[in-house]
Amino acid sequence: MDDFSEILLKWYSHFKRELPWREETDPYKIWVSEIVLQQTRIVQGWDYYLRFVERFSTVADLANAEEDEVLKYWQGLGYYSRARNLHEGAKYIAIQHKGKFPRRYEDILKIKGVGEYTAAAIVSIAFNLPYPAVDGNVFRVLTRIFGIRTPIDTIVGKKEITNLANTLMDKKKAGIFNQAIMDFGALQCTPAKPDCKSCCFASLCVAKKKKLQHVLPIKTKKTKIRTRYFYYLYIRNQEKTFIQKRIKKDIWIGLYEFPLIESNKELSLDEILSNAFFKETLKNIAYITEDVSPIYKHQLTHQSIIAQFITLAISERKFIADSPLLSIFENEINKYPVSRLMERFLI
DSSP for 165-178 reads: HHHHS-GGGHHHHH
Indicate the range of 145-149, 259-263, 299-303, 310-314 predicted with least confidence. 299-303
The pLDDT-based confidence of 321 (bands split at 50, 70, 90) is low
**pLDDT at residue 42, rounded to an integer:** 87
Tell whether the model's pLDDT for residue 257 goes beyond 90: yes
- Give the alpha-carbon dihedral of 136, 173, 132, 206, to 10 degrees: 60
- Tens digits of per-residue pLDDT, 290-305? 999 999 999 988 899 9
Q: What is the mean pLDDT of the chain?
A: 93
Kindly report the number of other CB atoms within 10 A of residue 149's CB atom.
Answer: 12
> What are the chain's domains?
1-20+128-220 (1.10.1670.10), 226-346 (3.90.79.10)
For Cα atoms 302, 304, 309, give the angle at the middle one, nearest 5 degrees: 145
For Cα atoms 80, 84, 243, give the angle at the middle one, nearest 5 degrees: 60
**pLDDT at residue 79, rounded to an integer:** 87
**pLDDT at residue 59, rounded to an integer:** 96
Torsions phi, psi for 296 (to 5 deg):
-110, 125
The pLDDT-based confidence of 213 (bands split at 50, 70, 90) is very high
Q: What's the CA gap between 15 and 313, in Å, rounded?
A: 57
First-residue to last-residue Cα distance in the chain: 54
The mean per-residue pLDDT over the stretch 44-57 comes to 93
**pLDDT at residue 317, rounded to an integer:** 72
Burial code (b: 16+ CB inside 10 Å, e: under 16) for 18-32 equals ebebeebeebbbbbb
Kindly report the number of other CB atoms within 10 A of residue 80's CB atom.
Answer: 20
Q: What's the CA gap between 343 and 347, in Å, rounded?
A: 6
The mean per-residue pLDDT over the stretch 264-288 comes to 91
- Tens digits of per-residue pLDDT, 152-182? 999 999 999 999 999 999 999 999 999 999 9
Tell whether the model's pLDDT for residue 320 goes beyond 70: no
Tell whether the model's pLDDT for residue 224 goes beyond 80: yes
**pLDDT at residue 48, rounded to an integer:** 93
The mean per-residue pLDDT over the stretch 244-266 comes to 94
Tell whether the model's pLDDT for residue 72 goes beyond 70: yes
CA atoms within 13 A on the CB side of 27: 25
The catalytic site residues sit at: 34
Residue 125 near residue 179 (C-beta atoms within 8 A): yes
Indicate the range of 79-93, 123-137, 229-243, 306-320 predicted with least confidence. 306-320
Burial class (CB in 10 A: 0-12, 13-18, 19+), 54: exposed
